[in-house]
Amino acid sequence: MGKILEVKDLSVNYGVVPALRDISFHVDEGEVVALIGPNGAGKTTTMHTISKLIKPKSGEILYCGKSIVNEEPHNLVSMGISQVPEGRGIFQPLTVAENIEIGAYLRKDKEGIKRDKEWVYDLFPRLRERMKQISGTLSGGELQMLAMARALMARPKLLLLDEPSMGLAPVIVEDIFHIIKKINKDQHTTILLVEQNAQMALTASTRAYIIEVGQIIREGSSKELKSDDQIQKSYLGL
Amino acid sequence: MFFQHLLNGLIIGGIYAMVALGYSMVYGVLQIVNWAHADVLMFGTFIGMLLATFLHVPVIAMVLLAALFTAILGMAVERVAYRPIKSANRRMAVLVSALGMSTFLQNLAQLVFGSGTRQFKVFDTNAYEIGGMKITGMQILILSVTAVMLLILYIMVYRTKLGIAMRACSVSIDNAKLMGINTNMIISGTFGVGAFMAGVAGILVGNYYNAVYPTMGYLLGMKAFAAAILGGIGSIPGAVFGGFIIGVIESLGAGYISSAYRDAFSFLVMILILIIRPAGLLGAKHIDKV
Ligand SMILES: Nc1ncnc2c1ncn2[C@@H]1O[C@H](COP(=O)(O)OP(=O)(O)OP(=O)(O)O)[C@@H](O)[C@H]1O
Ligand SMILES: [Mg+2]
């Protein structure tokens, strides 16, 4: 299996303040890879740089072997990269159905879109019941489901998830991670998962990177990291 | 008499509504006030007048061509005056750029068309009596064109994918990008649609008062902007609602109190309503920015 995403020596500044310093990592096709780190480590910056909302200072980002550092953000979506941003990024004044619709914005295959709507509503039945509802009135868990459903409507090859567990009750987090694994298994969607919840992230992923103050300080298989003393102390609260 | 004033108010209110939509939609996607909007309208009206007077273009074609020109000019204003601005203090820079563009367009119009007032009279001006009220062919035309324009806009914004994209952009440009939306194109389109409606409104109002002149956009623009604020800037139904309210208040105020203060009534009411509801009648109480 080839590398679907490869980040090489990526540096990003906000003004003169560095947020990422020479980070390198990769995601193989079909994998679930976790990027774990505390507040302010640079996780969201990494995601935004991949999605081209932020321009890097230096470094390279390869998607399917091709450089994407000079792509427009909307082109990345048509190339197969979708992001569920931190805080979900739901268009709150729009209805649930309109948010789902906008996820398929670039697609022209009417039949396929119709089928995929059924599929995401089956995946998240609570959204089906709330189709006509203004999405700003959804609960936190429902918003996260909507954000994921919306991203899936673009039929991504690579799905970027930025802290899907943020602000959710443990039972809901379980549900969300169950679905993340299901999407990966059933649709063969490759997933890059950013989390502070290391427990969940290490359970759901095959490999993981640990990021602190803009640098990757550890990497390894999720199993190995989970049983590591240092990681257990700093991230798993054991 | 009351119904006559009400009718007159609704007619001029429809014009305000069409112009207000341009302010409000642009504010919705970019959070800036396009101060050049009314001058773009003026330019389009001049083009309409020239097409009708000198080239004798048939009325419908004249309206469409002039509105199309206005749309293109509106999009050009965005490209030249707003898009390049990326400075840290963007809002202030955009304000200065907008005022500069407004002055530029007015001066250019004076240079090209002269500073005098031109006549513009292409529509039926016969008066009819309906149920004791007087209505002119011109007024019937304004009412029906306004209704058609608002209906088309409604369908576009609330029933098409493009409309969803436009509304998504007005929530968050970054999140719209993540959906694969070419946000620059949507912003450009928003300016275009707003200016198109302004172009139509300009031609109607130019004929209503039989006058086209380089500063014609000033008061009209101020009132339409007041309408947008009154309805809650950024809100599409708000702009329409605000336009009709301003039109009716102005007409009733002029009819019952004093026509000398016609222009003051609308602003007075706007100020009163904003004291009670600072976000406008239909404005969001707070805007979520993720
Ligand atoms: N728009 C911005 N302007 C300036 N600095 C920023 C901006 N966004 C983030 N930063 C800074 O960059 C660093 C990395 O932020 P980032 O949001 O990527 O962290 P994170 O790992 O996602 O944190 P969290 O877990 O809290 O979401 C932080 O120090 C942050 O303050
Ligand atoms: Mg973050």
CA A45 to ligand 1: nearest atom: 18
Mean pLDDT is lowest, of A21-30, A168-177, B132-141, for B132-141
Q: Which residue has the higher pLDDT, A47 or B127?
A: A47
User: What residue ranges do the domains of chain B occupy?
Assistant: 2-276
Which secondary-structure segment (H or E) carries B238?
A: helix B236-256
Q: Which residue has the higher pLDDT, A128 or B284?
A: A128
Contact A123, A149 (CB under 8 A): yes
Distance CA B153, CA A76 (A): 30
What pTM, to 2 d.p., does this model score?
A: 0.90
What sign for the dihedral angle of Cα A68, A74, A79, A85?
positive
Residue with tokens 């001066």: B107
Collect the ranges in chain B with pLDDT lower than 50. Answer: 286-290
pLDDT digits (tens, 9 = 90+) for A217-233: 999 999 999 888 888 88
**CATH hierarchy code of domain B2-276:** 1.10.3470
The predicted pLDDT at position A24 comes to: 97
**In 3-state terms, what secondary structure has residue A34?**
strand
Question: For A58-86, what is the mean pLDDT?
Answer: 96
Among A17, A44, A160, A197, name the best residue to mutate to test ligand 1's pocket (greatest count of ligand atoms within 8 A of Cβ).
A44
Q: Which of A48, A72, A74 should we substitute to test contact with B (largest number of B Cβ atoms within 10 Å)?
A: A74
| Interface residue B235 vs chain A (CB under 8 A) | no
Mean pLDDT is lowest, of A46-55, A60-69, B86-95, for B86-95
Contact check, Cβ <8 Å, A105/B181? yes
What sign for the dihedral angle of Cα B256, B260, B262, B265?
negative
Mean pLDDT in chain A? Answer: 94
What sign for the dihedral angle of Cα A129, B156, B24, B243?
negative
Q: How many CB pairs under 8 A join A and B?
A: 69
